[in-house]
Chains A and B, each alone.
Chain A
């Protein structure tokens, strides 16, 4: 396998920033390096030919982003998290709002938003919730919209669902099998709008009662995590909730004191100060 030094990684992120207005300059170095090396290997490129391709072939950028961003996820990831959502967080939101809004920031291939929709449907409130699912990568958004996953992924998803203790006997109640794929009932996505949005350079676009951004900020360095937390803070109504990944932490962020920890194990926070 080839190697790449930090100076070359910087040249790549500078070029992408200047030419395409995506900013990877504050991505965590170790994973950014692996992603770039992975693209070089997949596309049989060297540093020089990669730089040339990014310079000369603008259409290549979507493909590049699709491979650069990490699109590995699963339904009902951390079943205990979803039980807390169902039993504590969603009921707490509903105490004050009959209708509410959820943002899935960095939704990737859509497993998490689909999980949310199934849970809300089982709670009988799917029709009362507006969901916005965003990602930087337009290709992955198109895939997410189809609510279609390889059947081989369903074993893990099903295991998680059983540990979540959903009200259906199996996730099979929500999908049909076709050509090696699980195709989920599209009505689950009736209230979901999928949109391209860049967490790093994008503007605040709405206010939410709940924001989920699990295992996305781990790809950012601390200063970028800090900036993105400010955006989440601004995108939340007062007393709205923020959920991050189970091994992520906000404690070193400037805005951490504007949130309280609602559930430390599942990393769920509540905005208490504007």
Chain B
């Protein structure tokens, strides 16, 4: 069974989320197949001035340790990364992170558009971009950039979202390959994992 028509050419997964995305993200990380081979790069809106606690909260049920990368840290296979508080997080061509304190984008720092579009630029058609629940339009242009570079795009099913502004904005901005509930995203990850076994 290969419901999502996947293969083993993907090199990374990038996930954006905001208000209402935390529970979904926890569920995805807690049911991630053991030894999932791709890096998962997360940019979730968070309180700008609370440096600690968020990564720990995400890690509690996660099968892998979530880390907030340092500037210029290499991206490892199977690593799960979270954009740190009050920094934008980009991915560079050499497959490492670059942080910045530039102006807020979409009223956000970290901005999902920045993480998504730099991932799109680096990984091109080998990227899967996922956008979860959220109350603003951040991430829509990032999803568009991923699609334009040939990557696969997924948004959380808007009717399931606590706040559907974010996935709806992405649906309006670009072609979205799959609209999935969180349990289907979990299933998607399992199917993706199988392609690498």
Contact = CB atoms under 8 A, between A and B. Distances in A.
Contacts of A78: 51
Interface string B94-105: 000011111100
| Interface size of A as a range | 20 to 34
Contacts of A219: 100
Contacts of A30: 90-92, 98, 100, 118, 121
A222 B71 CA distance: 10
A70 B102 contact: yes
Interface string A158-181: 011001000000000000000000
Interface residues of B, number: 23
Interface in A211-260: 215, 217-219, 221-222, 225, 245-249, 252
A31 B68 contact: no
B72 A222 contact: yes
Contacts of A139: none
A218 B98 contact: yes
A115 interface: no
The secondary structure that dominates the B interface is loop
A247 B72 contact: no
B103 A247 contact: no
A65 interface: no
A72 interface: yes
Contacts of A217: 71
B100 A218 contact: yes
A201 B69 CA distance: 29
Interface string B74-104: 0000000000100100111100001111110
Given A72-B103, A73-B101, A218-B99, 12 more contacts: A28-B98, A30-B91, A30-B121, A160-B49, A163-B49, A215-B101, A217-B71, A222-B72, A225-B72, A247-B87, A248-B70, A249-B73
